[in-house]
Amino acid sequence: MTDVHAPAASVAPLLTVDSLRIVVTGTRNDVVDEVSFTVRAGEVMGLVGESGSGKTTVALALMGHTRRGLTIDAGKVLLAGDDILVAKTDLRELRGASVSYVAQDPVSALNPALKVGTQLREIFDAHPDVRPPEGGVDGRIAEVLTDVRLDSVDAVLQSYPHQLSGGQQQRVMLGMAFACRPKLIVLDEPTTGLDVTTQRHILETIRTLCGRYQVGAVYVSHDLAVVADIASSIGIMYAGRLIEYGPVGAAFSAPAHPYTRGLLRAIPDPTRAHVLEGMEGQPPRPGSRPNGCFFAPRCQFTQASCQEGFPLPVAIGSGHWARCRRAEEITLLPSLGELPERDHSGKREGIAALLEVKDLDAQYGEKPVLHDVSVDVRPHRCLAVVGESGAGKTTFARCLVGLHSRWTGEMAFEGEQLSSDRRKRSREQIRRMQYIFQNPYTSLNPRKTVGQLIDQPLRELTEIGGTERRQRVVAALEEAALSASYATRYPDQLSGGERQRVAIARALVVEPELLICDEVTSALDVSVQAAIVELLHRLQVTRGLTLVLITHNLALVRSIADDVVILRDGRVVEHGQTVLDNPQSEYAVQLLADVPSLSLAARP
């Protein structure tokens, strides 16, 4: 059989991963198996998949590392010809010097007790073999901080991590990764949670540095649009297997695996408002994977032969292959073009504003955050509030529900004035405006069952009895696409998407009129994100809900929002229905230009 893993070019690859297998320690249950790919110097390879697909496990193995409870059972990881997996005694010298890692969350990766300059200098203390000549450390540090486009180098070096923004912290992490001029850099979701402008700058920095220093990179992400923007090749992982691999353009314009096709159809597009398509079901866990193709239980193209062993790679084109028996047939299907446009005709229109905000000024301590913000939220519509990090989006949302009380101005719900202090609002005012937090892992009490969590607002905000409350809990779960059996489970028994559905059910159970959603999809896989967005849109239509969506994802805004407010430095830059189609400010034009577009990468 043709070696479908061979590099497209004749240049020897910098990194070769061959038949990597990682198992649960003490068992034969594999977490990752049969993973093979190559990366050349200066190339960025994207590694994508849902949570639990094994992409981060593979990324850590590139440094000879596994999480607790896992063991590398077989395979090779060759970096410039040397097998990392057999260099056990040299791993501490290798990490940072030959292969570097950029974590998803710089807040947890950087030492909060040490200044940035101290942490950068520690890298060269740990790797004296690559230390610049006498007196050159400070010069190299200044150089890498300039490379990652950090201004005021001296100020950054004298700062503690918490004194920097999220984007600045991530740039510091990139500077640390490139400081020793490694051969390979592994980036694990480095732009998740960043606004589109900061994300664009980070991606440009990675691309420039990899080309300048001929560093190979493996970019781990669940965001296919970002991968399309930065990577030249892509590997799609599912249930611990690499199921499609090839050039980004080929994989996105003619996906050969149904899973890749499903991921592409779940991605919002900033160029048009289309219905998002999530994939039903969950990836199988290690030890409970089905016979044959692991994706078959979720696949609309399954056939009897899919149960007969895991599919072998099928070559599609130059360097492009997929593990699917119907791969060649699936490449002929349109991947994006036939998705239906979003239909807003089912939404009821209101004349007067449901919520009126006038001349809102807010501050934290002595620091002003919002300035003269005036916004009307119209009934039965979705208002998206967007902007860069620090623009004041979440502060605005928290002011609406009384979670932030240091504001002045006027706020009225159907003509009734709202106090800035939540404790002074009536139970009815609180009931009518509900809030869904960004992180479902921290917003749900781990000591309470799902049923207890959903029942709590009923106890506090209504007078209904126990029997009716139990009925309401079940109805709210079913409306959030969860069965009644979830009521007895605890949050740690749920996936991220299931937790967010519980948070939605908890907000819906008191029958609010206004639902405020604060970055509710930012931590979710694209397929789960699509399902949550479609759920919110359905609830908006069937219940006549009004939504305020706080987000930095402008592509997502296109798929659900009716009206848009753009904030910059706490001020309204633009507000209206046509902001995305006809932006009037230079800032809005730049924001839209910074959004990565999957449709561009998907063109043949």
411 & 538 share domain: yes
Identify the pLDDT of residue 447. 94
Average pLDDT over residues 491-508: 88
Identify the pLDDT of residue 534. 86
In a domain, 486, yes or no: no
310 & 280 share domain: yes
In a domain, 2, yes or no: no
28 & 175 share domain: no
State yes or no: pLDDT of 17 exceeds 80: yes
Q: What percent of the chain has pLDDT over 90?
A: 48
Which of 129-138, 273-282, 417-426 reaches the highest mean pLDDT? 417-426
190 & 175 share domain: no
Distance CA 604, CA 331 (A): 12
543 & 401 share domain: yes
Total tally of structural domains belonging to the chain = 3
77 & 189 share domain: yes
Helix (H, G, I), strand (E, B) or coil at 583: coil
15-24 vs 70-79, strand pairing mode:
antiparallel
135 & 233 share domain: no
pLDDT band for position 344 (cuts 50, 70, 90): low
Distance CA 591, CA 218 (A): 27
Which of 164-173, 351-360, 453-462 reaches the highest mean pLDDT? 453-462
Q: Which amino acid is at 65?
A: H
Q: What is the pLDDT of residues 561-602, one digit of tens each?
A: 889 999 999 999 999 887 888 888 898 888 888 888 776 555
Distance CA 505, CA 511 (A): 10
- Dihedral, CA atoms, 162, 168, 170, 172, nearest 10 degrees? -90
CATH number of the domain to which 304 belongs:
3.40.50.300
In a domain, 469, yes or no: no
177 & 258 share domain: no
In a domain, 506, yes or no: no
Identify the pLDDT of residue 318. 87
Which of 39-43, 88-92, 152-156 reaches the highest mean pLDDT? 39-43
Q: Edge to edge, what strands does the sheet with 416-417 contain?
A: 367-377, 355-364, 407-413, 416-417
Strand partners, 17: 37, 77
User: pTM (2 decimals)?
Assistant: 0.83
173 & 247 share domain: no
Of 153, 181, 209, at which residue does a domain stop?
181
Number of other residues whose CB lies within 10 A of the CB of residue 599: 19
Q: What is the pLDDT of residues 301-310, one digit of tens each?
A: 999 999 888 9
State yes or no: pLDDT of 136 exceeds 90: no
Distance CA 237, CA 259 (A): 9
434 & 558 share domain: yes
pLDDT band for position 502 (cuts 50, 70, 90): very high
State yes or no: pLDDT of 604 exceeds 50: no
Identify the pLDDT of residue 603. 47
Return the higher-pLDDT residue of 244 and 438: 244
| Residues 259 and 238 sit within 8 Å (Cβ to Cβ) | yes
Structural domain boundaries, residue 82: 15-98+182-330
- Dihedral, CA atoms, 504, 478, 533, 542, nearest 10 degrees? -100
Identify the pLDDT of residue 338. 62
